[in-house]
C-alpha cells in the first residue's frame, strides 16, 4: 500500500495541524497570530521597511467592520478579525492568483476557516449577510492599502476595489510595524473579544 504524503504541519505551539482535515483542538491563537504576522499581503510589494502583514490587515478589517456595523455582536467582530486566519498556514495569494488556482484553494480555506471558527466559539459557517459586511470591510481595507502602500492611484483603486465612503476611513492610516508588535496586538485583540463573548 502506498504511503500517503504528509498533510500536517508542526506548529510552534507543538500542535500538528492536518491541513486537509483540520480539527479545532489543533488550533491555537498564538500560532495564528505568529503566522499571520509574517505573511505579507500584496506579495510583499508594498512601500516601507516592513511587510504589510495579514495580521495588520485583519486588525484594520475588524476596525472597519465595527464602523460599518457599529452594533454588531462581539462574535461577528471576532469573525471579521479572523476572516483571513487560514492564511497562517496556507499563505496569502493576490486575488488573480486565487482565481487561477480555482476551487481547490477555496475548499482548503473553507475547511480551515470552519475549524478556526469552531475553536473560538463561532459557527463553522458565518451567516451570508455578516460575511458580506466583512467582505465590504475587506475591500475598503484593500483600497486603503492599494493607495497608501501598494502604489495604486486612487482612480485605479476605485476601479478594482470601489471608492470607500470617506467617513468610514476617516482618521485611519496604515503604519507598517514589526511582526512582533503586530503579533502582540493581534493576540491581545482576539483575547479581548473572547472575553467579551
Q: What is the pLDDT of residues 29-68, one digit of tens each?
A: 999 999 999 999 999 999 999 999 999 999 999 999 999 9
Phi, psi of 71 (to 5 degrees): -100, 20
Give the whole-angstrom CA distance, residue 62 versus residue 68: 10
pTM for the complete prediction?
Answer: 0.95
Read off the C-alpha cell for 85. Answer: 486566519
| Gap between the Cα atoms of 115 and 85, Å rounded | 10
Per-residue pLDDT tens over the stretch 61-113: 999 999 999 999 999 999 999 999 999 999 998 888 888 887 888 899 999 99
By C-alpha distance, which of 114, 113, 112, 92 is closest to 101?
92
83/65 Cα distance (integer angstroms): 11
Q: CA 139 to CA 133: how far, in whole Å?
A: 10
Amino acid at each position: 500500500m502506498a504511503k500517503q504524503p504528509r498533510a500536517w504541519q508542526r506548529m510552534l505551539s507543538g500542535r500538528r495541524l492536518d491541513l486537509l482535515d483540520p480539527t479545532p483542538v489543533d488550533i491555537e491563537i498564538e500560532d495564528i497570530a505568529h503566522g499571520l504576522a509574517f505573511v505579507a499581503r500584496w506579495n510583499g510589494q508594498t512601500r516601507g521597511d516592513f511587510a504589510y502583514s495579514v495580521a495588520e490587515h485583519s486588525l484594520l478589517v475588524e476596525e472597519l467592520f465595527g464602523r460599518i456595523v457599529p452594533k454588531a455582536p462581539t462574535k461577528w467582530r471576532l469573525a471579521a478579525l479572523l476572516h483571513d486566519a487560514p492564511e497562517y498556514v496556507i499563505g496569502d495569494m493576490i486575488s488573480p492568483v486565487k482565481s487561477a488556482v480555482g476551487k481547490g484553494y477555496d475548499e482548503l480555506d473553507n475547511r480551515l476557516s470552519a475549524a478556526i471558527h469552531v475553536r473560538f466559539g463561532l459557527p463553522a459557517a458565518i451567516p451570508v449577510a455578516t460575511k458580506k459586511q466583512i467582505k465590504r470591510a475587506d475591500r475598503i481595507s484593500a483600497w486603503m492599502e492599494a493607495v497608501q502602500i501598494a502604489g495604486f492611484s486612487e482612480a485605479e483603486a476605485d476601479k478594482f476595489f470601489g471608492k470607500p465612503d470617506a467617513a468610514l476611513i476617516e482618521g485611519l492610516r496604515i503604519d507598517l510595524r514589526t511582526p512582533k508588535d503586530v503579533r502582540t496586538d493581534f493576540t491581545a485583540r482576539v483575547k479581548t473579544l473572547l472575553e467579551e463573548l
